[in-house]
Amino acid sequence: MEDKGKIAGDCDKDYFDSLLDRLSPSLDDPQAAAKELRDLTNRQASVRAFFGESAGSLQKLLNPLSPNKAVDNPGLEEDLTAIVLNLSIIDSNKELMEGNPFVISFLVGSLNSKTHRTKSIAAAALSELSILDSNRRLIGEAGAIGPLINVIGEGNIVAAVNAASALYKLFHLTENVKNAIRARATSVILQRIIKRFCVDEMMGLLAKLSGDQDAVEELRDFGAVPLLLKVLGESRPERCQENCVAILDEICSYDPNTVKQIRSDGDACSLLLRLSVSSTATARAQRKATSIVQKIMKAAS
């Protein structure tokens, strides 16, 4: 009865330590303790802070994974993944996890979970950790890029949005972009856009990738220009419109044949001309549209 009272109210340090001890893989049911910690770290900032104040607490948290029990217990894996997400809200915990590569490896492993829910939670946690520049390299080196792209390709909306959020931050590093291209990110993202699946998020990722020549070549080879023009003509948020026309400008800068292709499409030319002077478009979208229009005019002269 006393333990239940602790859960309902504030958790003190002694009770916190007892929960960590109950996570020992030598005990029969670490999941009960994991569920309590999941609830407490969700509700109480003080419990999230305890992890940063207690030496070895993260290792104790992930102890149930030592004999790979989480693989055979999806519920335990989900609870532990959710605890890591709850902890990552605190900046000091982000830094603490940076010093513990096993945490990142655990999250990458959770991206391959049997359940979309656990994958979604893991992607959200990696997104939180990716806020720190130093973590972006560690996460990429831990092999997160491919599994995150796979999550997007599987089509679960919540999981895909969380994965896209993580990838967007990870793409600040050139090596992560290169790894994503090798992992077929361009193709996967285009397929999502074709199906009008999370178009705004997918366009943001594609804009990041389009800064790399290999991705631009793929976009050209995949025949992405008509799709991008179609999306550009749809009613989309300003940022999506901006990313879309920026991608088109990257392709046009690389491939003169794309400029000729757009020049032969009267509707596309009119669309870009209107966007270049639109009072509702962002300044960057106007500049990118103007850039394409200038390329078209130059090609026609």
pLDDT, tens digit, for every residue of 113-149? 999 999 999 999 999 999 999 899 999 999 999 999 9
Does the pLDDT value for residue 28 go beyond 80?
no
3-class SS letters over the chain: CHHHHHHHCCCCHHHHHHHHHHCCCCCCCHHHHHHHHHHHHHHCHHHHHHHHHCCCHHHHHCHHHCCCHHHHCHHHHHHHHHHHHHHCCCHHHHHHHHCCHHHHHHHHHHCCCCCHHHHHHHHHHHHHHCCCHHHHHHHHHCCCHHHHHHHHHHCCHHHHHHHHHHHHHHCCCHHHHHHHHHCCHHHHHHHHHHCCCCHHHHHHHHHHHCCCHHHHHHHHHCCCHHHHHHHHCCCCCHHHHHHHHHHHHHHHHHCHHHHHHHHCCHHHHHHHHHHHCCCCCCHHHHHHHHHHHHHHHHHHC
> What are the residue ranges spanned by the domains of the chain?
2-183
Which comes out higher in pLDDT, residue 97 or 193?
193
Looking at residue 6, its pLDDT comes to 47
CA 260/CA 252 separation, integer angstroms: 9
**Percent of the chain's residues with pLDDT above 70:** 93
Range of lowest pLDDT (73-87, 98-112, 113-127): 98-112
Q: What percent of the chain has pLDDT over 90?
A: 76
Q: How far apart are CA 138 and CA 91, in angstroms?
A: 17
pLDDT at 195: 97
The CATH number assigned to the domain with range 2-183 reads 1.25.10.10
Averaged pLDDT, 1-8:
43
pLDDT of residue 10: 67
Q: What would the mean pLDDT of 200-227 be, rounded to a whole number?
A: 97
Confidence of residue 52 (pLDDT cuts 50, 70, 90): confident
Q: What pLDDT sits at residue 66?
A: 57
CA distance linking residue 63 with residue 74, whole number of Å: 15
- Model confidence over 141-190: pLDDT tens digits? 999 999 999 999 998 999 999 999 999 999 999 999 999 999 999 999 99
Mean pLDDT of the chain: 91
Distance CA 171, CA 136 (A): 9
pLDDT at 273: 97
For the entire predicted model, the pTM comes to: 0.92
Average pLDDT, integer, range 98-109:
87
Per-residue pLDDT tens over the stretch 260-297: 999 999 999 999 999 999 999 999 999 999 999 999 99
Instruction: Please report the pLDDT score of residue 221 as a whole number.
Output: 94
Contact between 286 and 276 under an 8 Å Cβ cutoff? The reply is yes
Q: Where is average pLDDT lowest: 15-19, 55-59, 123-127, 201-205?
A: 55-59
Average pLDDT over residues 242-255: 97
Return the sign of the alpha-carbon dihedral for residues 202, 208, 210, 214. Answer: negative
Residue 71, pLDDT above cutoff 90? no
Band the pLDDT of 62: cuts 50, 70, 90: confident
Give pLDDT, residue 97: 87
pLDDT reading at 11 higher than 60: yes
